[in-house]
Structure 1
């Protein structure tokens, strides 16, 4: 078993794609880095914190990207976002079999706030354009920095989100919520609470991710292969019916959480008799339990 969580972006790419098949666009040797960071005397990275390219995944022609959480928490700036958008546009032009996004990001860089926000909006548009072109878009979330802010929204634009229990997914990060609302609103130092709220198990129970896997690179790889096959069979395009089902699911989630203050209370309302045991369950035991209690688009609780 090889931990996905512990790998860098450059280690995850060969662990997920077929051996020796990945061709990187704009590698570090091209030295395409953010000009904004240099102007602020901030550290730069010659790949601007993201690896983009194309390779094979179980023989399929798949374009992909991996964000490096070790550089500014995987945050998105102008160049970082442009690389993601360019990869997605090229996947459309090349009629790729799929796009695979290995996401690990705290959101938009404060150093490049406006440029980063624009970049994230362009990433989302390109993801939806890829789907509209019949190209499945699959997101993997299992890094130690989680997937927050604009990239948290972007992840939900994918056909399928695959997470590990250790992965985290949300709009605002715990520190951001605490800064805005105070520690009474959310204590970012309570790591158990953070994972109960943003971690893979809670996101799976609420329907934000479609697949939960152990923290294992081979499990992520196999789940990605299966997700692409499932999307190809069902169709990748986003339809009005899909949006209405999602809206219905969100409405049911609001009703579900009304008056409650923490995830374990929600799990109990979902019908889980011993919610305190959920964090201790391994992936298989949790999935067996969740199959009877999770919220899904177009389905009841």
Structure 2
């Protein structure tokens, strides 16, 4: 088996940021903006006796997806949980602004964000928070310019904190079974509200609340895939073609959908209650069934949408 074939057959969850890019894009089409020869390390981590990474945990560049040029950013969840710091955030922001400035002048067909992050890097909290706010603004500008922004989530760190908010700002969201998306991470909720409110060690609870299957069934994500890099590639190719326009009717429809969802399920205390009320068969087994079986389940009414 060739090395390229091995990359394509690899699982998204187990792959590094660079392996995900290699399998997602057309073969040998990726051009990194800040390669190993241009070290983009955080200047702050040494103050905390922490070892940096030459790319500060994020890879940015351009390549081709099914023959079309795209910009791509991939977070490395194995470095500081993919957390946002000053340099990390600046690289992603620069990518988005470059895409925005190229709109209508031969710019990218889409921007792909391979998110794998626990949120803001505590050692650079102020810079990280500022970066996330600027990234959100830049995503809105990119989408307003007619360029879809896709979020691909399925790594070890999920998409938490500011990463969860960034995910929600994207045109389309792709997840696999290992994907988790939430504004507040389990440990954060437990620390602030107590273990009685949320036990971060209860894996079943965490996956019911933050997990990809819950997000997909309720419409919080747009495509659920089996988890191979090739599965993500196929989904990205399909969704780039059908990203919704970033306009008032789109936002109005999304607000109406969320209002209706709150009306129907606002009194539910846990995900199985929602699935039971929505008529999902055997709601208590959602986390245990195979992907093929899961994908045959009808999503709750209103989950398929052209919003965001």
TM range (shorter): over 0.9
Q: Is the 8 A contact 1:141 1:163 kept in 2?
A: yes
Residue 293 of structure 1: CA displacement?
Answer: 4.8
Q: SS of the counterpart of 1:185?
A: coil
The gaps in structure 1 that reach 5 residues or longer are none
TM-score by length of 2: 0.91
Q: Name structure 2 gaps, 5 residues minimum.
A: 1-8
Partner of 1:268: 276
Cα deviation for residue 40 of structure 1 reads 2.7
Per the normalisation by structure 1, the TM-score is 0.93
What residue is the counterpart of 2:55 in the other structure? 47
Determine which of 72, 83, 88 is the counterpart of 1:80.
88
Q: How does 1:78-227 map to 2 (within 5 A)?
A: 78-94=86-102, 95-227=107-239
**Which whole-Å CA distance do the structure 2 matches of 1:181 and 1:297 have between them?**
33
Distance 1:128 1:7 in 2: 29
Number of aligned residue pairs:
295
Q: Which of 19, 39, 45 in structure 2 is aligned with 1:37? A: 45
Greater displacement, 288-297 / 249-258: 288-297
Shift of 1:266: 1.2
Question: CA–CA distance in 1 between the matches of 2:60 and 2:170?
Answer: 17
CA contact (8 A) 1:204 1:294 kept: no
**Structure 2 residue 70 is matched with structure 1 residue 70:** no
1:240 aligns with 2:252: no
Cα deviation, residue 296, structure 1: 4.3
Provide the secondary structure at the position in 2 that maps to 1:35: coil
Q: Does residue 258 of the first structure (1) align with residue 232 of the second (2)?
A: no
Inter-CA distance 140–149: structure 2 relative to 1 (3 Å threshold): same
What RMSD, in angstroms, separates the aligned Cα atoms of the two structures?
A: 1.7
- Once the two structures are overlaid, the 10-residue window that deviates more, 276-285 or 193-202, is 276-285
